[in-house]
Structure 1
Amino acid sequence: MSDQEQALHGAPARFAGADTVDPTLMPTQDGEAVPRFLPSPDFANWLAQTAGSLVMSTYQSGRLIFLYVEDGQLQVLDRVVGTAMGLALSSRHLWVGTREQVWKFANTGVATVDGKLKDAVYMPRKGYFVGPCDTHDVLADVRFGGETHELAFVATSFSCIAALDERYNFRPLWKPDFVPMLVKADFCHLNGFAACDGAIAYATLCGRTVEAGGWRENRNAGGMVWDLTANEPVATGMGMPHSPRWYRDRLWVLNSAAGQFGYVDGDRGGFVAVVDCPGFARGLTFIGDYAVIGLSQLRANSFGASMALTEKLQQSQVKQRCGLQIVDLRTGRNAHWLTITGPVTELYDVAFNPGVRHPYSPGFREPALHQQRVHLPLDSRFPHPYSQGVQPLATKPQARRGDAISPTGAADSAVAPAGEGTPAS
């Protein structure tokens, strides 16, 4: 058996170590604290070698975070977008799901922002108000039932997978057969789904009940991964599974309440753990031979205290953390990491943006940039001077007589020197 097979079929690797850094927080323009990012020694170099960038969503603090490398240094750009959850990236768009809305950002191309060249500027273009769906995972340009949908999403409150609709809150596509009706009851906490060959194929559920919120009673062992084609579970006995992803002919998933990353193997009885996670694992993407896992701290309430992960970390004396865990799929070991301290304690999703090394977005809080950034089609029959090329943009425009310029946008987050995070094992 090869080293890779031994790693992926052996006992889960343990993530050890403890933080030794006293975090320094910086005030934002609105007086709020910003998170501090503590990368492993080679994190920035590894991210630079991917020739892309990362995007993360933070549910409880309502941020959209871009991570990229510029001049050899890790850079962080955060934007306030509400209860940011599921992310979907394509060459042209960035989709962000929130509790009650879905936002569509368009990649408007290259621009120079404050003297720095950005190879993609994401501008908000459209918002869908989907109502009390508690939107979780989202997938763009995906097929289901022979139809292609611009965006599908998990409507967790309604225990179904849905698509956007121009008239209705949402158009239901699929629900588990045991769910009696479409009603805001969260019977099973359906939270994630995965596409295989461009079609929705798998979903993660936290329980199988017909009572509103009934899944909570067995949160540590009632979860499952559901095969939509076969209409049956392919892995059971899981603790609040999240983020199913089909990658390299294998279905990967996070066994969140148990703090595990692994894959589904029917021949081996369902879920197979590969590595332990020092936090509530939620959010997963892949870059070559690496898996990038989002980590969240457990909430300080009875729900978090009763989770199996709480006792597991206490017994192993591992401090729970928020951040990223990068696992080498060839060895099954932790290769790089990023610890986040400060007001951000939870991540929901993480996505890789290949080919986009230096992203930018004004979010909703830079009206001056929205006024400057004009993006029109080149094939328009109406002449215009907006070439869609490199446009110099300033996030802090000079005031003219009569103008009242007020602070807008989010302050830069603090990035600690490499090596101030937690060592991997």
Structure 2
Amino acid sequence: MQAKEKLNVQYEHSEKLNDFLQDLNISILLSTYQTSRIACIGSNKDLNVSFSIYDKPMGIAKTNRGLAIGTSSMIWKLMARKNNTTIPNNSNNPDIIFHARESISTGPIMGHELFYRGGKLWVVNTRFNSICTIEPPWSFKPYWKPNFIPKDNEGDRCHLNGMAFRENESNPSLASVLGTGSEINSWRANKANSGAIIDIKTDTLIAEKLSMPHSPRYYKNEIYFLNSGEGSLERIDQKTYKREKIAIMPGFTRGLDFYGGFAFVGLSQIRETNIFGGLPISEKKLEAGVSIIDLKTRKEILRFWFKSIVEEIFSVCVLPGWKNPKLISSIDDQESPSWVLPG
């Protein structure tokens, strides 16, 4: 990974976003593989937005020791440190620092979502159409793949991109795919309506004919997902599997987290027309950033959006308990060295 030039990113946000983050005592991380950055939205006296460099970052997971970030061919582990990291000339007064200390090579697996559950890192391995755990000495250890995928076949056939865990469970229960075909790139042909949410335990489709779905989640024992091609947040009834739209937003919705009765939804513009062309939202004016939805009123209450450079978001990760975190990658270290010391 080569050091990159600093980005002159412009952004705007709702007037009360800083107060909202302060009141909930949270911050927000966004991965943007398009710019090889993790964006950190924190609050101090004013909103504080910073960037950390990673090679095409996708999944972000909260772990027992800090964070994990999936990149183009490896997973970085970041240790959380509150008091004993020395950062020269630092003026942003972070209340927690996540410092990249260890990496695991997975090879180019097109890793998408990343979770830490049951003491293991779980990754959506799109290149091998499977959900895997990261357990050395292997590059990855397959756990599940859709029953319509041929055994042990490499190649992106269904664009498996997301997974969901029930609260307090160690194994994933749901997966999102953009198609249900078995041939390489078969998902591209009818991407506007060929997506599905799969129950992993029964290998059944609980929602289908979706428009490029992403980010399935359980929150307060309810199933949510993003119907990305329609720019919507939706909920699935667990008994009838009936879908219900919660909110529609001005972006390709991808990346979802929940906290305090609010949904934090990633928004992206559409850059690659060969992939995203023909979607219901393709004719709309779209933004890249994050939208905050009140689940009680089903309305957007706040938004943060980029005005330049950043066009795509993949993961959204809320950090409870930390208002103003700082992330430090190995590339950040080259530009502004930092050290983790004992004591």
Same fold (TM over 0.5): yes
Instruction: Find out whether 1:77 has 2:47 as its counterpart.
Output: no
Deviation at 1:300, TM superposition (A): 4.1
Moved more, 83-92 or 289-298: 83-92
The aligned counterpart of 1:198 is 169
Q: Which has the larger radius of gyration?
A: 1
- SS of equivalent to 2:155: coil
The aligned counterpart of 1:10 is none
- SS of equivalent to 1:274: strand
Q: Which ranges in structure 2 are unaligned for 5 or more consecutive residues?
A: none
Identify the match of residue 93 of structure 1 among 66, 74, 82: 66
Inter-partner Cα distance in structure 2 for 1:98 and 1:43: 29
Instruction: Find out whether 1:234 has 2:206 as its counterpart.
Output: yes
- AA paired with 1:285? D
Instruction: Find out whether 1:359 has 2:329 as its counterpart.
Output: no
The aligned counterpart of 1:56 is 30
Identify the match of residue 338 of structure 1 among 304, 307, 318: 304
Given that 1:160 and 1:176 are in contact with CA atoms closer than 8 Å, whether structure 2 keeps it comes out as: yes
Deviation at 1:185, TM superposition (A): 1.2
Given that 1:362 and 1:370 are in contact with CA atoms closer than 8 Å, whether structure 2 keeps it comes out as: no
Decide whether aligned partners of structure 1 residues 266 and 245 sit closer, same or farther in structure 2, where only a CA change above 3 A counts. closer
**What are the within-5 Å matches in structure 2 for residues 18-417 of structure 1?**
33-71=7-45, 73-90=46-63, 92-110=65-83, 113=87, 114-140=90-116, 142=117, 148-196=118-166, 197-199=168-170, 200-267=172-239, 269-311=241-283, 313=284, 319-367=285-333, 372-376=338-342, 387=343
Decide whether aligned partners of structure 1 residues 181 and 149 sit closer, same or farther in structure 2, where only a CA change above 3 A counts. farther
Please report the TM-score for the alignment, with normalisation by the length of structure 1.
0.75
CA RMSD in angstroms, aligned pairs only? 2.0
Inter-partner Cα distance in structure 1 for 2:206 and 2:321: 35
Runs of 4+ in 1 over 4 A off after TM superposition: 29-32, 266-269, 368-372
Please report the TM-score for the alignment, with normalisation by the length of structure 2.
0.92
The aligned counterpart of 1:410 is none
Given that 2:52 and 2:332 are in contact with CA atoms closer than 8 Å, whether structure 1 keeps it comes out as: no
Q: Which ranges in structure 1 are unaligned for 5 or more consecutive residues?
A: 1-28, 143-147, 314-318, 377-386, 388-425
Decide whether aligned partners of structure 1 residues 343 and 122 sit closer, same or farther in structure 2, where only a CA change above 3 A counts. same
- SS of equivalent to 1:310: coil
Deviation at 1:91, TM superposition (A): 5.3
Structure having greater relative contact order (Cα 8 Å, sep ≥ 6): 1
Higher helix share: 1
- SS of equivalent to 1:44: helix
- AA paired with 1:279? G
